[in-house]
Every structure is written in structure tokens, then in C-alpha cells.
Amino acid sequence: MPENRKSLQEEFEPLFNPRAVAVIGATNNWSKWGFSTWNSLLDGYKGKVYPVNNRDKEVLGHRAYSRVIDIPEDEPVDLAVFVIPAEGVPSVMEDCVQKGVRAAVIISAGFAETGEEGKKLQDEVVRIARKGPLRFIGGNCMGFWSATANLKAFMFPLLVMDGPLAMVSQGGNIGGSVVSAGYTRGIGFRSYVSCGCTADIQVEDYIEYFGDDPKIEVILAYIEGVNDGTRFTEKVSRVSAKKPVIALKPGKTEAATTAITSHSGALAGSSTLYDSAFKKAGIMRVNTPEELLDTGMGFVTQPLPRGKKIAIISPGGSYGVLTADTCASMGLEVIKLSDETIAEFDKILPPRWSHGNPVDPAGDRNFIAYMQAPDLLLKLPEVDSLIYMGFTNFSGWATRFSGINKDITKIYQELIQELTKLIPGKEALEDPRTDESWMEELTKKLVESFFAVFGTTDSTDLEAFSQKLTSIFKNKKVGPKLKEQFLRTAKSFHNGTIGENMNPFGPVLEALMEGLLITWIKTYDKPVITTSFMEMSTVSKLGYHAYPTPERAATVLTKMMEYREYLEQKGIVRIQGPSPP
């Protein structure tokens, strides 16, 4: 490893924010990765691009160069993307050094992971790059994404968006899945690096770099094996004092160790050693890609819990039982409710409610009471966090109930028709001067309509609840996002894309419910994690994902506890970091 003479931010600037990029192996042949990589680059990146191909004169309308050094001298290239067979990499690397290219990503496979010969080839590539110096990602990787440059130097069309996370992954499939799942959930990445066999830049270098970027709030890593444990622990410790670092590290079994060698060429090392190294470095270790993203989102959206005391609200007794069992098994403390709290719930829930934690209204049809319940628990000093089985799919349930018989279906459709009348005309929507009061009006009517399907008709309750919801519009952080969702829905309505749908208002209702969740988090400065019924995980509108199982929700809380304890042990007072809206 060369000693850094300049800061990592400066050194990596040509990599993450290049002025110009050459793709070695860009091709017109759509059956090659060089084709999809070239197209991936063109999708968003605004700097200069050069296809390098020693056969074709032109690649998809761009003049091709047979060698990197054929690119005119007055046109500097910062980054080279290699998508050619491994054996061709050294000579092109020589060209890159000669041309003054300062960074590369070597997607090509066939290095250390294939054995002795491959290792030699890899060493040769590193030796040449050092002459530049040219720092590179890979080889045997899938490429990377940098939001700063809107740069997708990636093997195939990657689903990714900008956001507060960053990820480095020694596995392209795991990394790609996490990033794409984030996209689907509505959470983005400032950067994602598929780092491959880490011949030059090491896992800890990326983490250090992400640590210095103030736009990155949480760092995720998939690690098969690091090359220098001491260096790794030292560098990451400095980062984890500033922001959470979460890592998925397989290799508990010999079967995995063997697979790792033929995959990334890494030495998997002892799982126990990694455990203690991670502990020392303040890294939260998780076991699955799901947990990696879940926990990352948890840190971004929730404050750290003050302790392990938890309250649970569930509309179903059995889900309450499972959630309590899971939380307690994971070391969280399912608190007992005081007589005062029980008396408070007695006022809003039917006599058959569970009279304990988990709070289960036992089939109460008054869903407004269910949505008042969190306040009664979160205000208690003995509650550190809440798992709430929320109605993330409230509109879906309303639709299902409205299908009970044709009379109800008709009434429901009429209600929806009434609601559509509150949407401003197409022109008005485009006009920024349009008064936004229609959104509040729509919210009120929405609440009345949807809750009517379940049977909540008490007008005082409904009004109070509507007021709570409409107050979300005034929240500085959430309000604008919520308004966007309303506008989006309204526009879809005019475009006819949801016109035929029986319930076009689902997305805004879901967003409002999510807004309510955010209000709880903000008001009490405590984590509120929502869960959904089995396999009913829903896409969040404002970035707050409902976890589809109690295990996944509880895991997030335990990891956040772990981080808090780490910071406390180290005596670190966290000044800056993820904060709820």
C-alpha cells in the first residue's frame, strides 16, 4: 500500500468525480459486457467519454480509439474502465499510465481468484499502476456508482439513486441486490463500489473515503476477507466514531471459506477473529443482505434508542406474541405496562383488549384508537422504542373491505368519485401559484371515506385525527415530500394512468400514515419501527420502510443499541449524524 501523500478525498477525486472516462473494450456487440458497460456510462454521466476498441472505428456513434494513448494529448482522461479479458489488462494499464490516467475500475475477471497464474497477473497490474500512480477498483468486480458525477461505471443497467447511504461490496451480486432493493424501497446511495478482489484500493480505503463525505450518513459493507486486519481496524475505528458502519461477513463454515477463495480470492479468516475485530472497530455485524439494508435504513430514519426497553402495538394477538418472543430472544426488554397506562388504554380500546404489552385491541374496528395508541406509549419514560404493526397498506385493506358486497362497493366507488372532485384541474396543477389547501381538504375527506369503510364514524374523533394529519404538511422536512406525493397522484389522475383504478388515493393515504409515523419519531425522539403482515412489505413514500417480519424490525433495534453502547464505551458524544425530521 503506498502511503497517502495527499488526502484521500483529493486522491480519489479522479475516481469518483472524473472529468473524462475511457471504456477499454467498449463495443457495438450487444452480447458483450463491453456493450452494456458503455451504455451504462452514457446513462447519466455528463463528462467526456471515449470508447477504446482495437477493432471498431466507432462505437454507437462515438469515435473509437484503438489505444488509450491515441486519445488526443490535450484531452485528459481521469478514469479508465476495463472490460477486456484479464490477460490484456497489463499492456493497456501501461498505456493508461503513459496517458496520465489517474484512476481505473477493472471489471475484468481472471486474477488472484483463479489461482497462482492469476495472482501473478494481478501483481503485474498493480506494479504498473503504482508507476502512475493510478489507483484502481477491482479486478473481478462489477463496477461502481458515484452520485457526485452521476456516474454508473457498471457492467449492466444498475437500479440506483442518490441518497444518504454508501456501500462497498466484495460481491457484485450482493451489492447490486442491496442497492437495487434500496431503489425499490425509495432509499438511495451516495456511492456504491463493487470492489472485487481489492488488488489496489482496500475495503477500508473506501470506508475511510465515505467517512469523510458529509453527505454520507451510514456505510454498508459486504466483506469476504480483508488483506491487512490491523490497517482495517485502525481506519474503520476512526470512521465508526463519526457514523455507523454495518458489515455482512460470511465465512462461519468451511464451505463458505472455500467458496470465498474461488470467488474474491480473499482469505476468509476465522469468523471469531472477525467478530472481535469488528467489535473493536465499532462495526455492526449482520448476517444477511436484508439485514444490511434494513439496518442502514434504520440508522438513517430513526434516532438511537436510549435503552433496550420496548413497547409493541399489534392489531393481532398472535403477531404480538411472535414479536414479543423475537424481541425478548434478541435481548430487548418487553416492558410491563403500569396500571396508569392500562387505565388510559381502557378509555380508548374495547374491554377485550390485551391489557398488557404487546397492546392488542383484539379486533377493535375503531382504527383511530389504534393510531392514538403510540402516543400513550411513547410519552412514557420507561419506553425506549416502539415496534408498531402499522397500516402500511391501509388503503389496500379498505379496498378489500369495500369489496364485501356490491352495495358497499358502490358506496365506496361513490366516495372515491367525491374525492376526485377535490383534485385541481390539469392547468392549475402546473401553476405554482395554485393554493395547496386542496391537499388538506383531500386529506380530511380521505380520512372520512377510508375510515367509514371500517366503521369509524365519530365525527369528533375523525376531525381530531384529520387535524393531526394535515399538520404534517407544515413539517419542514416531511411536508414538501408529502406535497410532492399529492401532486404526483393528482397528475397521474389527470394522465389517466390511475383513472380506472378503484382506489387512486392509496399512495397519498400511505404517505400520510408515514407522515404520522415521522411525527411520532420527531415528537418523542425515540425509534418507532413499523412492521407489516407476512410478505406484505410495502414501498415507502417518504423513506420509512415497513419491515415484513418482527425479526427484521428487532434486528434493526438491536444493532442501533449496539452502536449506542459502542459510542458510550468510547466516550464519544455524537454531535452530528442522522437526525429525524
**Of residues 268-287, which lie at the interface with its own copies (CB under 8 A)?**
none
Sole binder of its own copies in the list 44, 455, 480, 499 (CB under 8 A): 455
Distance CA 131, CA 21 (A): 20
315 part of the interface to its own copies, by CB under 8 A: yes
**Of residues 251-270, which lie at the interface with its own copies (CB under 8 A)?**
251-256, 258-260, 262-264
Q: How far is the first Cα of the chain from the last one, in angstroms, to the nearest whole number?
A: 41
Task: Provide the 3-class DSSP secondary structure of residue 325.
Answer: helix
Distance CA 97, CA 232 (A): 28
Distance CA 348, CA 344 (A): 7
Sole binder of its own copies in the list 100, 317, 396, 479 (CB under 8 A): 317
- Three-state SS sequence of 125-136: HHHHHHHCCCEE
454 part of the interface to its own copies, by CB under 8 A: yes
**Of residues 193-232, which lie at the interface with its own copies (CB under 8 A)?**
222, 224
575 part of the interface to its own copies, by CB under 8 A: no
Distance CA 503, CA 396 (A): 9
**Of residues 401-430, which lie at the interface with its own copies (CB under 8 A)?**
401, 403-405, 407-408
Sole binder of its own copies in the list 8, 19, 32, 124 (CB under 8 A): 32
Residue written as cell 461477513?
249
**Of residues 467-506, which lie at the interface with its own copies (CB under 8 A)?**
none
Sole binder of its own copies in the list 88, 90, 100, 109 (CB under 8 A): 109
Residue 246 beta carbon to its own copies: minimum distance, rounded to whole angstroms: 15
Burial 153-170 (b: 16+ CB within 10 A, else e): bbbeebebeebbbbbbbb
* From 248-256, 301-309, 417-425, 565-573, span contacting its own copies (CB under 8 A): 248-256
Sole binder of its own copies in the list 55, 339, 534, 576 (CB under 8 A): 534
400 part of the interface to its own copies, by CB under 8 A: yes
- Please, which residue, 457 or 501, has the CB nearer to its own copies? 457
Using CA atoms, how far residue 128 sits from 2, 70, 90, 97, in Å, is: 13, 19, 7, 8
**Number of residues engaging its own copies in binding (CB under 8 A):** 95
**Of residues 50-69, which lie at the interface with its own copies (CB under 8 A)?**
60
316 part of the interface to its own copies, by CB under 8 A: yes
**Of residues 331-370, which lie at the interface with its own copies (CB under 8 A)?**
334, 351-352, 354-358, 360, 362-363, 365
In this structure, the number of other CB atoms found within 10 A of the CB of residue 258 comes to 12
Sole binder of its own copies in the list 244, 250, 424, 506 (CB under 8 A): 250
**Of residues 119-158, which lie at the interface with its own copies (CB under 8 A)?**
140, 155-157
- Please, which residue, 183 or 438, has the CB nearer to its own copies? 183
Sole binder of its own copies in the list 245, 247, 283, 327 (CB under 8 A): 327
Residue 335 falls in which region: left (phi positive, over 0), alpha (psi -120 to 50) or beta: beta
Distance CA 43, CA 156 (A): 11
* From 126-134, 484-492, 531-539, 573-581, span contacting its own copies (CB under 8 A): 531-539
- Three-state SS sequence of 28-73: CCCCCHHHHHHHHHHCCCCCEEEEECCCCCEECCEECECCHHHCCC
Residue 437 beta carbon to its own copies: minimum distance, rounded to whole angstroms: 30
Nearest alpha carbon to residue 514 among 536, 490, 544 = 544
Question: CA Rg, the chain, in Å?
Answer: 27
- Please, which residue, 244 or 315, has the CB nearer to its own copies? 315
| DSSP 8-state assignment for residue 264 | T
